Amino acid sequence: MRKLVQSFIAVLLLSLLLLYVSNRLNEAGGYAGDNTLIVYNWGDYIDPKLITMFEKQTGLKVIYQTFDSNEAMMAKIAQGGTTFDVAVPSEYAISKMKEEGLLLPLDHKKLPNLKYIDPRFLNLSFDPNNRYSVPYFWGTVGIVYNRNMLGGKKITSWNDLWDKELRNQILLIDGAREVMGMALNSLHYSLNDTNKAHLQEAKRKLDALVPNVKAIVGDEIKILIPNEEAAIGVVWSGDAAEMIAENDKLDYVVPKEGSNLWFDNMIIPKTAKNIEGAHQFINFMLDPKHAAQNAEYVGYATPNKQALQYLPKEITEDKRFYPDFDKIGHLEVYENLGKRMLAYYNELFLEFKMHRK
């Protein structure tokens, strides 16, 4: 027993020593909380030049890490193993993170550039008075399609995707809410539906789509569609704008049955170490010229009203990506469905992906 206790103490002391050495190395390498800012964002969702500009302006070192889904981001932050100072979740994720105590309130006095945000994007239901978040980008989910590859056919409806002539011609983004939402909307149900009979019906309809689905993919869809590897993609609006810029045969439509209107906002996670630096970064990104530069690079619509004057008119006047608010009443924002229902959505989506195989 004495040897066991001695062994345990030795292992504990060694672990503490390794932790101390690791912390010292991080500090020596410039990764301490005070002079470092860790940003957690979607892939390819910021102009790298802005990061460099921010570093020069503030003297802070930015460590930029990426995620590919709100669920992955929330799980990583909830685990608490890695410290993040700024993250960019979507609206329903913000609602969920708020419920779980994963967010720090923002100090609006340190965000003077918040005044440049269009009031239509402030004080929304998922974050009243923007206590925890400020707008970053917004957009829709829809269909990008190649007119030439479809022989001039025009896509207007989700149900067009079930056309037997589109065999092996469709790419889907790898997102449970997006794909399940598409099927629900095609049946004229809400994309926030929690009726299990409706969800099973949507799953059966997705199974019927399998012959037309070439692949379920991630960011590579932005390469495959412009290169005409497939005629159709279900995508986020900003990705569609980027694709259209590379291939003028492409067009983008939000289906008539309805779709998702989404908002991505900047937040400070509860585990943040550099809260002052986080506010500096958020305020930097709210600067109209920086917001315009970011929007032009990423391809998504900016909620920064003042930034619009710095963007080319062919961008801001394109109603596919900057639609009039009075014409998008048929679109829905994702709601926080709760852990059990979200798990059910994910389960059905996984079954659909397995059905393809």
What does the pLDDT look like over 151-205, one tens digit per residue? 999 999 999 999 999 999 999 999 999 999 999 999 999 999 999 999 999 999 9
Query: Are 2-137+263-316 and 139-261+323-354 equal in CATH topology?
Result: yes
| pLDDT on residue 21 | 41
54's tokens: 């921010």
266's tokens: 């900047």
| Residue 137, CB-side half-sphere exposure with 13 Å CA sphere | 24
Q: Is 136 assigned to a binding site?
A: no
| pLDDT on residue 192 | 96
Q: Strands 133-146 and 250-253: what pairing?
A: antiparallel
Task: Classify 139-261+323-354 by CATH class.
Answer: alpha beta
Question: Domain 2-137+263-316, what fold?
Answer: D-Maltodextrin-Binding Protein; domain 2 (3.40.190)
What does the domain layout of the chain look like in residue ranges? 2-137+263-316, 139-261+323-354
Mean pLDDT of 232-260: 96
Enter the pTM of the model: 0.84
| pLDDT on residue 29 | 40
| pLDDT on residue 355 | 82
**Residue 18: pLDDT over 60:** no
| pLDDT on residue 81 | 83
The per-residue pLDDT for range 26-84, each reduced to its tens digit, is 443 445 457 999 999 999 999 999 999 999 999 999 999 999 889 899 999 999 888 99
Mean pLDDT of 13-23: 49
More confident residue, 143 or 271: 143
Give whichever of 26-40, 65-79, 278-292, 341-355 has the largest mean pLDDT: 278-292
Mean pLDDT of 217-238: 96
Q: How would residue 22 be classed by pLDDT, with cut points 50, 70 and 90?
A: very low
| Residue 14, CB-side half-sphere exposure with 13 Å CA sphere | 6
309's tokens: 């004057």
As a whole-number percent, the residues of the chain with pLDDT over 90 amount to 83
Mean pLDDT of 80-95: 94
| pLDDT on residue 2 | 52
Sequence length of the chain is 357
289's tokens: 């010229």
**DSSP string over 47-103:** -HHHHHHHHHHH-PEEEEEEESSHHHHHHHHHH-SS--SEE--BHHHHHHHHHTT-B
d(C-alpha 16, C-alpha 267), whole Å: 32
For residue 13, give every residue at least 6 positions away whose Cβ sits within 8 Å of its Cβ, in sequence order, or none: none
Q: Which residue has the tokens 């010229």?
A: 289
Cα angle at 214 between 208 and 215, to 5 degrees?
100
Mean pLDDT of 248-262: 96
d(C-alpha 9, C-alpha 143), whole Å: 60
Q: How would residue 23 be classed by pLDDT, with cut points 50, 70 and 90?
A: very low
Nearest to 137 by CA among 277, 321, 270, 284: 321
Nearest to 106 by CA among 124, 132, 128: 132
| pLDDT on residue 42 | 95
Radius of gyration, alpha carbons of the chain: 22
**Residue 89: pLDDT over 50:** yes
Mean pLDDT of 79-105: 95
Mean pLDDT of 86-96: 96
Please count the other Cβ atoms lying within 10 Å of the Cβ belonging to residue 281.
23
Nearest to 44 by CA among 190, 186, 172, 223: 223
Adjacent-strand bridge partners of 87: 40, 267
The per-residue pLDDT for range 109-164, each reduced to its tens digit, is 999 999 999 999 999 999 999 999 999 999 999 999 999 999 999 999 999 999 99
30's tokens: 């410039």
Question: What secondary structure letter does DSSP report for 215?
Answer: E
Mean pLDDT of 312-334: 91
316's tokens: 């801001």
Q: Mean pLDDT in the chain? A: 91
